[in-house]
Amino acid sequence: DSGVTQTPKHLITATGQRVTLRCSPRSGDLSVYWYQQSLDQGLQFLIQYYNGEERAKGNILERFSAQQFPDLHSELNLSSLELGDSALYFCASSPLPSGTDTQYFGPGTRLTVL
Partner 1 sequence: AQTVTQSQPEMSVQEAETVTLSCTYDTSESDYYLFWYKQPPSRQMILVIRQEAYKQQNATENRFSVNFQKAAKSFSLKISDSQLGDAAMYFCAYRGGGSNYKLTFGKGTLLTVNP
Binding site for partner 1 (CB under 8 A): 2, 31, 33, 35, 42-45, 48, 55-56, 58, 88, 90, 92, 94, 97-105, 107-108, 110
Please give the single-letter amino acid code of residue 28.
G
Please report, as a single letter, which amino acid is at residue 39: L
Smallest distance from partner 1 to CB 103, Å = 6
What's the CA gap between 53 and 107, in Å, rounded?
Answer: 24
Q: How far apart are CA 98 and CA 114, in angstroms?
A: 39
Nearer residue to partner 1 within complex by CB, 9 or 14 = 9
Nearer to partner 1, 8 or 58 (CB): 58
